[in-house]
Structure 1
Amino acid sequence: MEQQDHSYKDKKVISIGIVSELTGLSLRQIRYYEERHLISPQRTSRGTRKYSFSDVERLMDIANKREDGVQTNEILKEMRKKEMRSNPDYRKKMLEGQLNAQFHFRNKK
């Protein structure tokens, strides 16, 4: 069931007009966040943007952070850090680094 919920939220089916209504953001703001690589809609064969419910949630989070004065470049850095932290290889390298620092190991290759 969890996996179905995930795919449901990530399916790109919502038009930019509906996203604007749901988020309270203007079309211009949504396009700007796309230009800044904070959001990545799919494009139809005619070039129409399509968004997912996950995109809507991300846009709401971005809007809240912008209201708090956070710059878009800082939001992007934070998003990239979160993506890296969720990567299993990243976690493994961080743990190896911590062990190496604690026990003064050197990785010999």
Structure 2
Amino acid sequence: MGDQVRRNMPLFPIGIIKQLTELSARQVRYYEENGLITPARSEGNRRLFSFNDVDRLLEIKSLLERGVNLAGIREIFEMKERGISVPNLHYKTEPSEGDIHKNLKKELYQAGRFGKTSLIQGELSRFFN
């Protein structure tokens, strides 16, 4: 039995999927309703998920966390199925402590120089609590 066959075998009920992916059952059903995953069904009509389904759910979760909506996720999956390379998705992350200190120093210098208030006071307020 090949590795790909093993990865496609429907083995996991939704309870295990919830633990593996930290998604709710409702989220998993919603992604199925929207055609993002297609789990197998047992004789009792219960959903059974494969390792590939788990990977796909984790990818959906990751893309959603990075700000991609369901239509975008669907398009990404369609591109992958057609063999089209998907552009790397980069999203701005929270500024590091070093970045904030650098901005603080720059803003304070400029504010003092021109006698005006800092433009990033909201970002800097966490240092003054």
Q: Would you say same fold, with TM above 0.5? A: yes
Residue aligning to 1:58:
56
Find the aligned partners of 2:32 and 2:44 in 1 and give their Cα distance.
Answer: 18
> Which secondary structure does the structure 2 equivalent of 1:47 belong to?
coil
Q: Does 1:68 align with 2:84?
A: no
Q: Which amino acid aligns with 1:71?
A: N
Residue aligning to 1:35:
33
Find the aligned partners of 1:53 and 1:82 in 2 and give their Cα distance.
Answer: 18
Gaps of 5+ in 2: 85-129
Write out the 4+ residue segments of structure 1 that deviate beyond 2 Å after TM superposition: none
Find the aligned partners of 1:78 and 1:69 in 2 and give their Cα distance.
Answer: 13
**What is the deviation of 1:5?**
1.2
Larger Cα Rg: Structure 1 or Structure 2? 2
Gaps of 5+ in 1: 87-109
**What is the deviation of 1:78?**
1.0
Find the aligned partners of 2:66 and 2:25 in 1 and give their Cα distance.
Answer: 21
**Structural RMSD (CA):** 1.3
Larger RCO of the pair (alpha carbons < 8 Å, separation 6+): 1
Q: Which amino acid aligns with 1:61?
A: E
**TM norm structure 2:** 0.62
Find the aligned partners of 2:42 and 2:3 in 1 and give their Cα distance.
Answer: 23
> Which secondary structure does the structure 2 equivalent of 1:85 belong to?
coil
- Percent identity of the aligned residues? 39
